[in-house]
């Protein structure tokens, strides 16, 4: 039996000589919330982070209750990290791989590894990006957007575009059309439109663009981006939503054969337990709503259940 004292002076009894009660893999809102709760419950907890959270790309956060202005994604991540360090939560960097060991887990990252009785996956998703030379610049400046639920309201009435590669993007365009009467669907690949797709485009007044995008430029007046199509045609919009699909980031757990949906998201129960005993999953890797508030709620639920499970 290993006894550890967390920053609150609470003794954590970790069985089977594990170094931690729980390891959280991931560094977004779901991961940080999980670690906060576990630490405040008196559990020993560490985080392993790799890459960049999608929150990093949010220019302004307007959909998080209590934060009206001047909160960006990078600023929120900085605050969460600062909070974690105040609680003396160890944060390791490296690409994690979770392996079963006895009644718990060994998590490898680089040449190092740590053991834990429980693991919470907060590994997020990977956006499918448009193949433009300007993509990263436009993303950093906030002209490419990925979450109409988050910020569609902020562009109310402005001309917008939706980038699609298959018919599934038309559903997202239908959702975005409620925010603006001037919406443009830009097909990056040839799509065979069915009658129901044409009905959506017609009923929502969505303009269809089939020509190839040659380049994209930034406009200051009016503020936005300009799509330059083959043949010389141009389209100016305030921003463009990327509806090219998303994939769960599976590298940490692929080999564990965790049950997943047909789209690759991790299946969990009401307390965010996966099909692997002792393994939890939270945030975007289990849910397609992709909201900070939802991710944080997942983290709170999973951490509470993991804490309670260690009593038994």
| DSSP-assigned states of every residue in 111-167 | TEEEEEEEEEE---EEE-----TTHHHHHHTT-EES-HHHHGGGGTTS-EEEEESST
- Domain limits for position 73: 2-126+246-309
Instruction: Give the end of a domain, one of 211, 243, 275.
Output: 243
Question: Do 112 and 252 reside in the same domain of the chain?
Answer: yes
CA 86 – CA 79 distance, rounded (Å):
10
Residues 64 and 158 reside in one and the same domain: no
**Which residues on adjacent β-strands are paired with residue 176?**
none
- Record the tokens describing residue 55, joined without a space: 């929150």
Burial class (CB in 10 A: 0-12, 13-18, 19+), 82: exposed
Q: What is the CATH number of the domain that holds 238?
A: 3.50.50.60
Same-domain check for residues 119 and 261:
yes
Tell me the two tokens of residue 171.
């559903």
Examine the domain organization and report whether 228 and 134 are in the same domain: yes
pLDDT at 63: 86
Rg over alpha carbons for the chain, rounded to the nearest Å, is 22
Residues 255 and 168 in one domain: no
Assess whether 109 and 77 both reside in one domain: yes
Statement to judge: residues 206 and 133 lie in one domain = yes
Last residue of a domain, one of 219, 243, 267: 243
Angle value at C-alpha 248, between 162 and 168, nearest 5 degrees: 35
Q: Are residues 179 and 90 in the same domain?
A: no
Q: Are residues 99 and 21 in the same domain?
A: yes
According to the model, what pLDDT value does residue 69 have?
75
Give the pLDDT score at 13.
56
Give the Cβ contact number of residue 198 at 10 Å.
Answer: 12
Residues 6+ apart with CB under 8 A from 49: 26, 27, 31, 91, 92, 93
CA dihedral (85, 83, 104, 247) in degrees, to 10, reads: -110
- pLDDT (tens, 9 = 90+) of the chain, 312 residues, equals 444 555 544 445 555 589 999 999 999 999 999 999 999 999 999 999 998 899 999 998 988 888 877 799 999 999 999 999 999 999 999 999 999 998 999 999 999 999 999 999 999 999 999 999 999 999 999 999 999 999 999 998 999 999 999 998 999 999 999 999 999 999 999 999 999 999 999 999 999 999 999 999 999 989 999 999 999 999 999 999 999 999 999 999 999 999 999 989 999 999 999 999 999 999 999 987 999 999 999 999 999 999 999 996
Q: Is the dihedral of CA 165, 170, 172, 177 positive or negative?
A: positive
The domain boundary, picked from 243, 266, 285, lies at 243
């Amino acid at each position: 039996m290993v006894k550890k004292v967390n920053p609150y002076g609470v003794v954590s009894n970790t069985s089977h000589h594990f170094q931690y009660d729980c390891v959280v893999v991931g560094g977004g809102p779901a991961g940080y919330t999980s670690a906060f709760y576990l630490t405040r419950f008196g559990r020993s907890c560490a985080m392993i982070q790799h890459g960049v959270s999608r929150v990093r790309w949010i220019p302004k956060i307007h959909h998080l209750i209590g934060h009206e202005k001047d909160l960006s994604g990078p600023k929120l991540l900085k605050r969460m990290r600062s909070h974690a360090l105040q609680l003396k939560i160890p944060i390791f960097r490296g690409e994690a791989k979770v392996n079963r060991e006895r009644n718990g887990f060994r998590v490898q990252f680089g040449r190092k590894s740590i053991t834990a009785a429980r693991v919470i996956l907060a590994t997020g998703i990977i956006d499918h990006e448009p193949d433009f030379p300007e993509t990263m610049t436009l993303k950093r400046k906030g002209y490419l957007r990925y979450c109409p639920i988050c910020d569609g309201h902020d562009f109310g009435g402005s001309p917008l575009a939706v980038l699609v590669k298959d018919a599934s993007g038309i559903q997202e365009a239908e959702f975005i059309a409620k925010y603006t009467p001037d919406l443009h669907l830009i097909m990056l690949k040839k799509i065979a439109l069915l009658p129901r797709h044409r009905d959506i485009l017609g009923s929502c007044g969505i303009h269809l663009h089939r020509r190839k995008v040659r380049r994209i430029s930034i406009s200051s007046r009016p503020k936005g981006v300009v799509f330059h199509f083959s043949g010389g045609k141009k389209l100016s919009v305030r921003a463009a939503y990327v509806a090219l699909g998303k994939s769960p980031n599976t590298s940490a757990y692929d080999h564990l054969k965790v049950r997943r949906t047909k789209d690759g998201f991790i299946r969990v129960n009401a307390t965010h337990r996966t099909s692997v005993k002792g393994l939890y999953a939270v945030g975007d890797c289990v849910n397609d709503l992709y909201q900070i508030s939802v991710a944080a709620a997942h983290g709170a639920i999973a951490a509470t259940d993991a804490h309670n499970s260690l009593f038994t």
